[in-house]
C-alpha cells in the first residue's frame, strides 16, 4: 500500500516536472547569463582599475535593485500582466548586460546593476508564480526543489562559460546577454494560463524580531555573507592575482558546496534543535574562512574554504526560514517570509559595502576576515538565544525545504506553506501509526 502510494506520487511529480521543463530550462539559461555577469564584474572591474570600494558599491547596487523588484514587480504584474512584465524585464536586462563594456565607469555600472537586480527580482516573481500555479500541495516541495537545483546548476555552469572568452573584451558580456535573451523563448512559448500573483505585505521588523530574534538577526548577517561571497569573491580572486579560469573555478566552488551540503543539513534540520544546527553550521563556516585567510592564496586552500563556507551559507537561509515558521501560526507565515526576504536584502546591501571598505584598507585577504567575523556573530547570537528561550520540540517543527537566497517572496511563501502542510501530514501519519 505504501509502495503503491509512493509510485503514484512519483508519477504525479514526474508529470508536473514534464509540464514545467521549459520553465526550468529557461531558468537555467537565465542563471547562466546572470551568473556570468556576477563574476565578470570582478574580472573586468580589476582590469579597468576599479578599487575594492568602488566594486563593493557596484555589487550592492544589484541587491538594492533586487529588493526594489521584490516589492514593485507584483504591482507591475497586476497592472499589465505576467507576459508583458516578463518580456519587458528580459529586454532591459539583456540590454544592461551588453552595456557594461561600453560604459566602464563605477557610477554607470552601479546604475546598470540596479537595473539588472530589479529585472532579476521581477523575473523570479513571474517565473515562480507560474511554477507555483503548476504545482499542487502534494507536488510543490519536489517542484520547488527542482527549481532551486536548476538555479544552482545555472550559476555553476556560468563559471565554466567564462573560460571560453576574455574578460577584457565584450565577448563574454555579449554571450551573457544572448543567453538571457533566448531564455525567455521556452518560458513564454510554453507558459500556462496566467496565475494570480499575491504576495503578503511583509511583517514589520519589530514584529518579526519579537517573533524570532535569532532568525531576524541571523538572516541579516547571512545576507551580508551571501552577497559578499557571490559579489566580492571574484574581486578577491582578481586582486590576489588569480587567473580568470581560477577565479571562475573559485566562484563555482562556492555554489557547488551549497548544492552538495543542502541535503545533509536539511536532513539534520528535521531531527534536532535548529538553533544548535545554526550554531554548528556558522562555526564550520567561520573555520572555513579562517582556513582561507591562513592559506595565503594557495589554490587548494581557497577551494576547500569556498566549498565549505559557500556550502553552509545557502542552507542557513532555509534554516532561518524554517526556524521562524516553528513559532508562527499558518496565517502569519506569508508576512514573516516577506519580512525575512526584506531583512536578508538589507544585509546583502550592507555586506559588500563593509567588505569593500575593509579590503581597501587592509588588503584583499580581509575578504576572509569579514566573512569569518560575520559567521562568528551568527554563532554567538545563536548561542545567546539558546539561553533565552526553550527550543520548539523536534516533533512539532515545520519541515525543511532548501530555499535559495536568490528566491523571491513567491517561492519563499510557497515553501513555507508546503513545509507547514508537510509537517502536519507527517504528524497525522505518526498519530495514525500509534
Q: Is residue 120 part of a domain?
A: yes
Residue % of the chain over a pLDDT of 70 = 85
Q: Is residue 1 part of a domain?
A: no
Q: Is the pLDDT of residue 7 over 60?
A: no
Residue 137 pLDDT level (bands cut at 50, 70, 90)? low
Segment 189-197 shows an average pLDDT of 60
Q: Is the pLDDT of residue 259 over 80?
A: yes
Q: What is the span of the domain harbouring residue 350?
A: 7-433
List, for residues 105-129, the tens digit of each pLDDT value: 999 999 999 999 999 988 888 887 7
Residue % of the chain over a pLDDT of 90 = 42
Q: CB-hemisphere CA count at 13 Å for 287?
A: 9
Give the pLDDT confidence score for residue 432 in this predicted structure: 60
Would you state the cell numbers that stand for residue 407, as one nine-digit string? 528566491
- CATH number, position 292: 1.20.1250.20
Segment 379-402 shows an average pLDDT of 75
Residue 302 pLDDT level (bands cut at 50, 70, 90)? very high
Look at the alpha carbons of 357, 31, 48, 244 in this order and tell me if their dihedral is positive or negative: positive
Q: Is residue 28 part of a domain?
A: yes
Helix axes 366-386, 213-239, angle to 10 degrees: 170
Q: Is residue 210 part of a domain?
A: yes
Where is average pLDDT lowest: 105-114, 134-143, 174-183, 416-425?
Answer: 416-425
Give the pLDDT confidence score for residue 86 in this predicted structure: 80
Q: CB-hemisphere CA count at 13 Å for 178?
A: 8
Q: Is residue 2 part of a domain?
A: no
Q: Is residue 127 part of a domain?
A: yes
Tell me how far apart the alpha carbons of residues 32 and 273 are, in angstroms, rounded to a whole number: 37
Q: Is residue 274 part of a domain?
A: yes
Higher pLDDT, 71 or 370: 370
Mean pLDDT of the chain: 84
Residue 19 pLDDT level (bands cut at 50, 70, 90)? low
Which range scores top for mean pLDDT: 64-68, 203-207, 410-414, 415-419?
A: 64-68
Give the pLDDT confidence score for residue 96 in this predicted structure: 94
Tell me how far apart the alpha carbons of residues 14 and 37 are, in angstroms, rounded to a whole number: 33
List, for residues 398-432, the tens digit of each pLDDT value: 666 777 787 777 777 777 777 767 666 666 665 56
Helix axes 21-47, 2-19, angle to 10 degrees: 60
Give the pLDDT confidence score for residue 218 in this predicted structure: 93
Q: What Cα–Cα distance (Å) separates residue 52 from each residue in 39, 55, 147, 355? A: 14, 5, 33, 8
Look at the chain and report how many structural domains it folds into.
1
Residue 1 pLDDT level (bands cut at 50, 70, 90)? very low
Q: Is residue 395 part of a domain?
A: yes
List, for residues 269-297, the tens digit of each pLDDT value: 877 888 899 999 999 999 999 999 998 88
Higher pLDDT, 333 or 101: 101
Let me know: does 127 contact 183? Beta carbons within 8 Å.
no
Tell me how far apart the alpha carbons of residues 27 and 127 are, in angstroms, rounded to a whole number: 8
Segment 189-209 shows an average pLDDT of 68
Segment 202-207 shows an average pLDDT of 79
Give the pLDDT confidence score for residue 2 in this predicted structure: 44
Give the pLDDT confidence score for residue 228 in this predicted structure: 94
Amino acid at each position: 500500500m505504501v509502495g503503491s502510494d509512493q509510485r503514484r506520487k512519483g508519477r504525479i511529480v514526474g508529470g508536473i516536472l514534464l509540464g514545467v521543463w521549459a520553465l526550468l530550462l529557461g531558468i537555467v539559461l537565465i542563471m547562466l547569463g546572470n551568473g556570468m555577469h556576477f563574476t565578470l564584474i570582478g574580472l573586468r572591474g580589476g582590469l579597468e582599475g576599479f578599487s575594492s570600494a568602488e566594486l563593493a558599491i557596484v555589487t550592492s547596487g544589484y541587491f538594492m535593485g533586487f529588493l526594489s523588484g521584490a516589492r514593485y514587480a507584483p504591482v507591475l504584474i497586476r497592472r499589465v500582466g505576467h507576459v508583458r512584465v516578463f518580456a519587458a524585464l528580459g529586454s532591459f536586462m539583456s540590454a544592461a548586460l551588453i552595456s557594461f563594456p561600453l560604459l566602464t565607469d563605477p557610477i554607470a555600472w552601479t546604475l546598470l546593476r540596479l537595473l539588472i537586480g530589479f529585472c532579476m527580482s521581477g523575473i523570479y516573481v513571474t517565473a515562480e508564480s507560474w511554477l507555483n500555479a503548476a504545482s499542487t500541495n502534494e507536488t510543490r516541495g519536489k517542484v520547488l526543489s527542482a527549481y532551486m537545483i536548476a538555479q544552482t546548476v545555472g550559476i555553476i555552469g556560468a563559471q565554466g562559460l567564462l573560460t571560453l572568452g576574455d574578460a577584457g573584451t565584450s565577448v563574454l558580456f555579449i554571450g551573457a546577454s544572448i543567453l538571457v535573451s533566448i531564455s525567455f523563448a521556452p518560458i513564454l512559448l510554453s507558459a500556462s494560463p496566467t496565475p494570480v500573483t499575491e504576495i503578503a505585505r511583509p511583517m514589520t521588523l519589530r514584529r518579526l524580531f519579537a517573533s524570532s530574534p535569532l532568525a531576524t538577526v541571523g538572516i541579516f548577517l547571512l545576507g551580508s555573507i551571501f552577497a559578499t561571497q557571490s559579489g566580492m569573491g571574484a574581486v578577491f580572486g582578481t586582486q590576489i592575482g588569480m587567473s580568470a579560469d581560477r577565479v571562475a573555478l573559485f566562484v563555482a566552488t562556492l555554489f557547488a558546496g551549497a548544492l552538495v551540503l543542502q541535503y545533509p543539513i536539511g536532513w539534520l534540520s528535521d531531527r534536532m534543535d535548529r538553533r544548535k544546527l545554526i550554531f554548528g553550521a556558522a562555526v564550520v563556516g567561520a573555520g572555513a574562512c579562517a582556513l582561507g585567510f591562513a592559506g595565503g592564496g594557495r589554490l587548494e586552500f581557497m577551494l576547500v574554504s569556498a566549498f565549505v563556507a559557500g556550502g553552509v551559507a545557502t542552507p542557513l537561509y532555509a534554516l532561518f526560514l524554517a526556524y521562524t515558521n516553528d513559532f508562527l501560526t499558518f496565517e502569519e507565515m506569508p508576512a514573516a517570509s516577506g519580512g525575512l526576504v526584506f531583512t536578508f536584502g538589507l544585509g546583502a546591501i550592507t555586506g559588500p559595502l563593509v567588505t569593500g571598505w575593509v579590503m581597501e584598507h587592509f588588503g584583499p585577504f580581509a575578504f576572509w576576515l569579514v566573512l569569518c567575523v560575520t559567521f562568528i556573530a551568527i554563532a554567538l547570537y545563536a548561542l545567546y538565544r539558546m539561553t533565552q528561550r526553550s527550543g520548539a520540540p523536534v516533533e512539532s517543527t515545520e519541515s525543511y525545504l532548501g530555499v535559495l537566497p536568490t528566491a523571491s517572496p513567491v517561492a519563499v511563501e510557497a515553501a513555507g506553506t508546503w513545509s507547514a502542510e508537510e509537517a502536519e501530514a507527517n504528524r497525522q501519519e505518526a498519530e495514525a501509526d500509534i
